[in-house]
């Protein structure tokens, strides 16, 4: 057994020896050792919750722990490590590669074959492995050689392969609430062994609030900020009470969390689009500012504006597509920072324009019929008779030329017989191109 245990990497979960605890960062020292100290995820980890029971009974399925930075993914893995009788093997996708991983997987297979002991393999930052590399886990998970616990800040739907998702339970950890952050902050200030209790430092209410805001739901970020602030103030004479200006000077500027390739990327663009859809220019400008401050590619924003112009405005204001396309061109030519002005111009135009999703909804309804009814034949009168055989087969027979017979444009049918009478395009009352129409807006999720 010792041979197997030597394969485990302990970097993620260092032993809490007195010397290492003293010199470790505050955020690491304050990691909860028991469930009672694990704050902010009560919905999934409170006593009696299924996940908590599965951990305590050592009957975990494979898990994907998904949550923003500082929400407790690695801490939860550490608690699992303390509760399980299985061989717990931590592995970092940042520090190690596929060759090391394959070695651990082979060892897990041998461990199960020789001793019957299960292996819980914790893979931090599992999204760092590409989808081809993630295939390496599959046979070992399938055979039960390992129970996989993967941690990621990225949306598993995009970053974890479907076969792994289907064999795992996705556990969603939320950004910590202000109440949870406040309790974590209080514990760090008062804990005599692992925290800052011996320094006898306190914070004014506004200084506490500023640190909690700085953390932005990330306990690790808040505790790192607290440790830095206390250290900076110690250089000035270690005051008993740290106030708002001292915290502000130390931290300089709150960092907005934004990951251009991660979940927040999709959240912010979604909020931006929905603000414009609801004709709220103020909300749209705020989310635009958040994306720009976070370093989003302005071309990505402009591309989404072009899509929005047709999807949500359409013929209610045909000019919208021209404006959005012009904004994209301006972003290409001008570049940041001046292109922010073009993006704001386009955003406010699109947000305040009349809205109609009739074109998009009509396409969805037509696609639904195309899928359900298969390859319905083109009516003969709409076919071109380019050969004599085609003429003999009645291709084009009965077709009426609209320029010579204007009435035929309405009388002539243009759908397969099975779909006669179908209405796909239902212009709305908000459409300036169809001011007399009083049809209700079409639900794109249920075109019929």
Write down the architecture of domain 178-251 according to CATH: Orthogonal Bundle (1.10)
Q: Report the C-alpha gap between 329 and 109 in whole angstroms.
A: 56
| In the chain, ranges of CATH 1.10.8.60 domains | 178-251
Average pLDDT over residues 241-262: 69
441 — pLDDT class (breaks 50, 70, 90)? very low
440 — pLDDT class (breaks 50, 70, 90)? very low
Task: Give per-residue pLDDT as tens, 300-353.
Answer: 899 999 999 999 999 999 999 999 999 999 998 888 788 899 999 999 999 999
Q: What are phi and psi of 148, to 5 degrees?
A: -85, 135
| In the chain, ranges of CATH 1.20.272.10 domains | 263-352
Q: Could you tell me if 434 and 317 are in contact, meaning their C-beta atoms sit under 8 angstroms apart?
A: no
* Six token digits for residue 252: 């300089």
Q: How many Cβ atoms are within 10 Å of 122's Cβ, its own excluded?
A: 28
As a CATH number, domain 2-172 is 3.40.50.300
pTM score of the predicted model:
0.57
Average pLDDT over residues 403-425: 79
Q: What is the pLDDT of residue 53?
A: 93
Q: What is the pLDDT of residue 301?
A: 93
The mean predicted confidence, pLDDT, of the chain is 83
- Which of residues 424 and 14 earns the better pLDDT score? 424
**137: alpha, beta or left? (left if phi > 0; alpha if psi -120 to 50):** alpha
Which DSSP string do the residues of 132-187 spell out, in sequence order?
Answer: HHHGGGHHHHHHTSEEEEEEESS-HHHHS-HHHHHTSEEEEPPPPPHHHHHHHHHH
pLDDT at 22 exceeding the cut of 60: no
| In the chain, ranges of CATH 3.40.50.300 domains | 2-172
Lowest mean pLDDT among 4-8, 179-183, 351-355: 4-8
As a CATH number, domain 263-352 is 1.20.272.10
Task: Give per-residue pLDDT as tens, 171-180.
Answer: 999 889 999 9
């Amino acid at each position: 057994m010792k041979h197997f245990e030597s394969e485990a990497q302990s970097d993620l979960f260092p032993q809490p020896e007195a010397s290492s605890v003293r010199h470790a960062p505050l955020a690491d020292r304050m990691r909860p050792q028991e469930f009672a100290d694990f704050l902010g995820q009560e919905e999934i980890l409170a006593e009696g919750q299924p996940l908590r029971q599965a951990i305590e009974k050592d009957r975990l399925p494979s898990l994907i722990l998904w949550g923003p930075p500082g929400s407790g993914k690695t801490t939860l893995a550490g608690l699992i490590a303390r509760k399980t009788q299985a061989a717990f093997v931590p592995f970092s996708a940042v520090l190690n590669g596929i060759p090391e991983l394959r070695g651990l997987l082979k060892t897990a297979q041998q461990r199960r074959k020789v001793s019957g002991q299960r292996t819980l393999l914790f893979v931090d930052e599992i999204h760092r492995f590409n989808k081809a590399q993630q295939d390496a886990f599959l046979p070992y998970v399938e055979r039960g050689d390992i129970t996989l616990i993967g941690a990621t800040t990225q949306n598993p739907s995009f970053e974890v392969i479907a076969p792994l998702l289907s064999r795992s339970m996705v556990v969603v950890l939320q950004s910590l609430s202000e109440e949870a952050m406040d309790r974590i902050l209080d514990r760090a200030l008062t804990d005599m062994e692992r925290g800052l209790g011996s320094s006898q430092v306190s914070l004014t209410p506004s200084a506490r609030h500023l640190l909690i805001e700085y953390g932005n739901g990330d306990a690790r970020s808040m505790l790192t900020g607290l440790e830095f602030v206390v250290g900076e103030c110690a250089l000035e004479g270690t005051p008993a009470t740290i106030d708002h200006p001292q915290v502000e000077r130390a931290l300089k500027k709150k960092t907005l969390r934004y990951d251009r390739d991660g979940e927040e990327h999709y959240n912010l663009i979604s909020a931006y689009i929905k603000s414009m859809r609801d004709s709220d220019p103020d909300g749209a400008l705020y989310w635009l500012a958040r994306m720009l401050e976070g370093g989003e590619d302005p071309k990505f924003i402009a591309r989404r504006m072009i899509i929005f112009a047709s999807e949500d405005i359409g013929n209610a204001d045909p000019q919208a597509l021209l404006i959005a396309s012009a904004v994209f061109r301006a972003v290409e030519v001008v570049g940041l920072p001046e292109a922010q002005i073009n993006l704001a111009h386009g955003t406010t135009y699109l947000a305040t324009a009349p809205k109609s999703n009739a074109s998009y909804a009509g396409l969805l309804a037509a696609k639904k019929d195309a899928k359900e009814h298969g390859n319905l034949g083109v009516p003969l009168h709409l076919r071109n008779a380019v050969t004599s055989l085609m003429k003999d087969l009645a291709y084009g027979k009965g077709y009426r030329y609209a320029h010579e017979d204007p009435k035929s444009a309405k009388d002539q049918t243009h759908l397969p017989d099975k779909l006669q009478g179908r209405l796909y395009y239902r212009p709305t009352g908000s459409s300036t191109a169809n001011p007399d129409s009083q049809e209700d807006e079409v639900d794109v999720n249920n075109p019929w």
